[in-house]
A = this chain, B = another copy of it.
Amino acid sequence: MMRTRPLKVALLGCGVVGSEVARIMTAHADDLTARIGAPAELAGIAVRRPDRVRAGIPRELITTDATALVKRGDIDVVVEVIGGIEPARTLITTAFQHGASVVSANKALLAEDGVTLHAAAEQHGADLYFEAAVAGAIPLVRPLRESLVGDKVNRVLGIVNGTTNFILDRMDTGGTGYSEALDEAMALGYAEADPTADVEGFDAAAKAAILAGIAFHTRVRLDDVHREGITEVTAGDMASARRMGRTVKLLAICERAEDGRSVTARVHPAMIPLDHPLASVREAYNAVFVEAEAAGRLMFYGPGAGGAPTASAVLGDLVAVCRNKLNGARGPGESAYSRLAVSPMGEVVTRYHVNLDVADKPGVLAQVAAVFNEHGVSIETVHQQVRDGGEASLVVVTHRASDAALTSTVDALRRLDTVRGVAGIMRVEGE
C-alpha cells in the first residue's frame, strides 16, 4: 500500500552537487516514489546567496535561514551538501534533534568529528548516511559497511582525490612540472582557486580517516592520518619512476598491522608499477582496492567527484534513509567496537625509492650500501648513473622496511662526505 503523505526533504546547499540533487529529485520523481514506496518531496533549500540559485530550482523553496529549515519539525531527511565544519555540524546535530535523518557528503566534517555526529544520530534514533563523502559516485562506504561486514578487511588502498590524480597524470603523460599541471587543472575546472585541500592531501586524508574507521570497525581521527601532498613531486621524480617501470600516484592507504592489534592510515605520493591497475587510472577518476580475508582483492573504480556523480551517491542514500523512515527502521550506525590503536608513521612498513647525488669515486656505492645495512634496510636494486663534473646519481630501491628505519638511514646518508644530497625519497607500493 502506497503511503500518501510524502517524505519531506530539506536540502542544505545548492551548488554543484545540491542543484544536481534537486534536478534529479524533480526529473525522476516517479521512479524515486516507486523505489522508496512514497513520494520524496523537496520541502526547502537553504543557500547563502539566493541570487545565485540555478535555473530549474523552484524559487519558492529557497531560504537563507538553514537553521529555521532544519528546525521546522516536519522534515524527514536533511541532505547536507554545504561542506566545511561549521555551520554544517550544528545544522546536522539540530536536524537530528528535530527528528530528521541526515545524508551528508561532508568528508571534512565526518573525518574531523564523525564521533559527535554518529552519537547524535544514535541518540535520536536517526540515520546518518555518507556514501558521497568518499570517492563520489563509487559505492565504497556501503560495500565496506554492509557487503563486507561479515569479512575481515585488512587493507584499503587507492586513489581518492581526483584533482591530484589529474595533475599527476598530466605530469606523467605531458612531462610537465607540477606548477604547469596545476595551472592546467585550474583552467579545466579540476582544481579550485585555492587548491590547498587537494594538493596538500587534506581531502584524501579525510577520506582515509573515514575509510579506515569503517573498514576496521574502529575510530581513526584526521590527526591519526599521516599526510603528504603532491606539491613536492617533481618532473624528475616522474621521469625517475618511468625509468624504473613505475608511475607516481597520490595514494590513501589504510592497513591493519600483521598482529591485528593496530592500524595505520596514510596519504602520500607513491611509485607504483605501470602494470598495476591503479597506474591506468587517468584524469580525475578514483579507484580503490579493498583486501579482505575471505573476499580477496576487490577493486572499485569510477568518477570520484563532480556534481552528477556525487548527486548519484547522495540520492542512493536518500532512498535508503527514506525507506528506513517509512519502515520505522534504522540503517547501520557507527561500528567502532574494535577500538584498535592507530600506529604512528614510523611503524609503517613499505619499500622506498631513494635518489642520491653522490661523488663519482670508487667505494661510494660500498659506503652507501653499508649505511643501509647498518640501519637494517635491505637493498633490492641499485642504479648508478655517472654525470659530468665528477658526480653521479644513485637510485636505491629497498626491500620492505619501517619508515623509522628508512628515516635513520637517510639521516646517516646525509652525513656521508660522498653524498652531495638526497634528491628524492618516495615510497614504492603495489608490488
Which A positions have Cβ atoms within 8 angstroms of B?
A: 20, 24, 28, 31-32, 34-35, 131, 137-139, 142-143, 146-152, 217, 277, 280, 292-303, 306, 308-309, 311-320, 323-324, 327-330, 332, 335, 337-338
CB-CB under 8 A for A31 and B152, given A296-B302, A299-B300, A312-B295: yes
In the bound complex, how far is the Cα of B16 from the Cα of A294, in angstroms?
13
Q: Is the CB of B35 within 8 A of A315?
A: no
Q: Is the CB of B28 within 8 A of A152?
A: yes
Distance of A293 from chain B, by nearest CB (Å): 8
Kindly report which residue of chain B lies nearest to residue A287, judged by CB atoms.
B299
Residues of chain B within 8 A (CB-CB) of A312 are 148, 150-151, 292-295
Query: Considering the complex of A and B, which 9 residue pairs feature the smallest CB-CB distances, nearest first?
Result: A150-B315, A329-B329, A139-B147, A137-B295, A295-B312, A298-B302, A294-B312, A139-B143, A299-B301
Residues of chain B within 8 A (CB-CB) of A300 are 298-301
In the bound complex, how far is the Cα of B329 from the Cα of A5, in angstroms?
20
In the bound complex, how far is the Cα of B292 from the Cα of A302, in angstroms?
11
Which one, B24, B32, B309, contacts A296 given CB within 8 A? B309
Q: Is the CB of B337 within 8 A of A308?
A: no
Distance of A302 from chain B, by nearest CB (Å): 4
A-B CB contact pairs (8 Å), 12 listed: A24-B151, A143-B147, A147-B316, A148-B312, A149-B320, A277-B301, A292-B312, A293-B308, A294-B308, A298-B302, A299-B300, A324-B329
Q: Is the CB of A298 within 8 A of B138?
A: yes
Q: Is the CB of A295 within 8 A of B309?
A: yes
Kindly report which residue of chain B lies nearest to residue A40, judged by CB atoms.
B150
Kindly report which residue of chain B lies nearest to residue A320, judged by CB atoms.
B146
Which one, B302, B313, B315, B335, contacts A299 given CB within 8 A? B302
Residues of chain B within 8 A (CB-CB) of A311 are 294
Q: Is the CB of B320 within 8 A of A295?
A: no
Residues of chain B within 8 A (CB-CB) of A28 are 150, 152
Q: Is the CB of A148 within 8 A of B217?
A: no
In the bound complex, how far is the Cα of B24 from the Cα of A369, in angstroms?
46
In the bound complex, how far is the Cα of B318 from the Cα of A308, in angstroms?
33
Q: Is the CB of B217 within 8 A of A35?
A: yes
In the bound complex, how far is the Cα of B32 from the Cα of A398, in angstroms?
39
Q: Which of A31, A151, A277, A329 has most B Cβ within 10 Å?
A: A151
Kindly report which residue of chain B lies nearest to residue A328, judged by CB atoms.
B329
Residues of chain B within 8 A (CB-CB) of A301 are 277, 298-301
Q: Is the CB of A150 within 8 A of B327?
A: no
In the bound complex, how far is the Cα of B280 from the Cα of A297, in angstroms?
15
Distance of A363 from chain B, by nearest CB (Å): 45
Residues of chain B within 8 A (CB-CB) of A138 are 298
Q: Is the CB of A137 within 8 A of B298?
A: yes
In the bound complex, how far is the Cα of B241 from the Cα of A391, in angstroms?
50
Distance of A64 from chain B, by nearest CB (Å): 27
Residues of chain B within 8 A (CB-CB) of A332 are 323
